[in-house]
């Protein structure tokens, strides 16, 4: 049986309730939400509304209409960045960002947006004082990842977000690696824009995500088209969330996302986090006992998300990942993980790392199997 340790990419398996919700929506809620006044269309619209309400409660969002459904966190980030920024604006970010942030900002630089990258330390941690210093010049937006997808480093955004709010600087939080694992409250954390994938820590289906837009912010739409209303006009509607949801929504995926968030809420973030922290501690303790393995990022589970990067002496990460998959039926991720700046920061560019990311359904037996497999690879490398 395959041991799945690539939950930072997408969680697997999903809760049983997620599978059931997707199946039920496909079979019985087959119409488009917001299109037409017939009973099936109304049922689909009701499902979408209920999902928004569940997500709003989960992230401390006062008005669920401020939630825009997207295909993933990348789309949400693109909507936020391209919808907000204008030539001449200044953005502060970090060297620990995923390409979902780095690449849109690179494109916006070509359009006249100034981008300042604050370097993290060798553990991947961003110093709030460095963010404050970088914002000494007039700054429109700070955009940061909550938790690194490479080193697992949890960033001190609870300190940075409220400071940005006090200074009148907008704050975009990329919660791709934290939502469903760590508490995220947009009001307490001073978040103006929140990008979330549905398929990672929230344990929903792929093809789902959301962007929260704080009340008072108006973005340019990323996609234009039919919204089910305002059909007489060439322009999209002004009201949220329809302004940013052109085209048919992923109704069955959103049904699964609703079920997933309900599962996470009922299980409890504290319980989920405690289990994953135990697994991480088990893994780190086991790796520390082996010579020939280098670990990156913070080694205390308290300041660490689900992703742990390692390398084996004398072996390319690609070799390790291939051998784990082929010979030991263990799934992980190797390479640069769509975050080359993060690897430059922690000193693993251009080769990258072997990334191991346990999830809620991972067991201690799975970790023991991985540790045994790595021991075998180390012996083979020195034989």
List, by residue number, the catalytic residues.
Answer: 338
Angle value at C-alpha 245, between 239 and 247, nearest 5 degrees = 130
Buried b (16+ CB within 10 A) or exposed e, 99-123: bbbbbbbeebeeeebbbebbebeeb
What kind and span of H or E run contains 83?
helix 73-84
Residue 188 in tokens: 């307490």
> What are the two backbone dihedrals, phi and then psi, of residue 92, each rounded to the nearest 5 degrees?
-110, 130
> What are the two backbone dihedrals, phi and then psi, of residue 233, each rounded to the nearest 5 degrees?
-105, 150
CB 342 within 8 A of CB 273: no
- Cα distances from 161 to residues 3, 146, 189, 300, in angstroms, run 37, 11, 5, 24
Rg from Cα positions in the chain: 21
**Coil, strand, or helix at residue 124?**
coil
- Cα distances from 356 to residues 79, 162, 299, 335, 353, in angstroms, run 30, 32, 14, 12, 9
Question: Which residues contact residue 148 at a Cβ distance below 8 angstroms, ignoring those fewer than 6 apart?
Answer: 96, 124, 155, 177, 297, 305, 307, 339, 342
**What gap in Å lies between CA 264 and CA 78, rounded to an integer?**
27
In the beta sheet, which residues pair with residue 90?
A: 114
Residue 147 in tokens: 């938790």
Buried b (16+ CB within 10 A) or exposed e, 234-252: eebbeebbbbbbbeebbbb
Residue 28 in tokens: 């019985």
Q: Which of 291, 308, 309, 314 is nearest to 353 (CA)?
A: 309
């Amino acid at each position: 049986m395959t041991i799945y340790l690539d939950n930072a990419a997408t969680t697997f398996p999903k809760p049983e309730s997620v599978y059931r919700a997707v199946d039920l929506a496909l079979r019985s809620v087959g119409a488009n939400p917001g299109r037409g006044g017939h009973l099936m269309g109304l049922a689909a619209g009701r499902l979408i509304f209920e999902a928004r309400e569940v997500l709003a409660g989960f992230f401390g969002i006062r008005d669920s209409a401020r939630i825009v459904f997207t295909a993933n966190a990348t789309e949400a980030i693109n909507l936020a960045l391209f919808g907000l920024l204008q030539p001449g604006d200044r953005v502060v970010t970090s060297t620990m960002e995923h390409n979902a942030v780095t690449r849109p900002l690179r494109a916006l630089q070509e359009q006249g947006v100034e981008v300042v990258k604050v370097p993290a330390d060798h553990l991947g941690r961003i110093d709030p004082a460095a963010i404050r210093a970088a914002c000494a010049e007039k700054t429109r937006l700070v955009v940061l990842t909550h938790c690194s997808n490479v080193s697992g480093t949890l960033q001190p955004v609870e300190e940075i977000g409220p400071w940005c709010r006090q200074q009148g600087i907008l704050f975009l939080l990329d919660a791709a690696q934290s939502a469903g694992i760590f508490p995220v409250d947009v009001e307490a954390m001073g978040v103006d824009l929140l990008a979330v994938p549905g398929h990672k820590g929230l344990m929903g289906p792929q093809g789902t995500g959301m962007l929260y837009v704080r009340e008072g912010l108006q973005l340019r739409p990323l996609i234009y088209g039919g919204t089910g209303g305002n059909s007489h006009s060439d322009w999209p509607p002004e009201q949220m969330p329809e302004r940013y949801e052109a085209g048919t929504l992923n109704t069955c995926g959103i049904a699964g996302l609703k079920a997933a968030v309900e599962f996470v809420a009922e299980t409890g973030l504290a319980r989920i986090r405690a289990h994953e922290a135990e697994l991480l501690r088990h893994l780190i303790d086991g790796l520390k006992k082996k010579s020939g393995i280098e670990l990156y990022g913070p080694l205390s589970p308290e300041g660490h998300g689900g992703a742990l990067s390692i390398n084996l002496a004398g072996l390319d990460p690609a070799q390790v990942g291939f051998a784990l998959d082929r010979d030991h039926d263990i799934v992980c991720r190797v390479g640069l993980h769509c975050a080359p700046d993060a690897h430059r920061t922690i000193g693993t560019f251009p080769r990258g790392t072997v990334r191991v990311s346990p999830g809620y359904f991972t067991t201690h037996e799975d970790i023991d199997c991985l540790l045994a497999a790595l021991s075998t690879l180390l012996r083979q490398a020195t034989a």
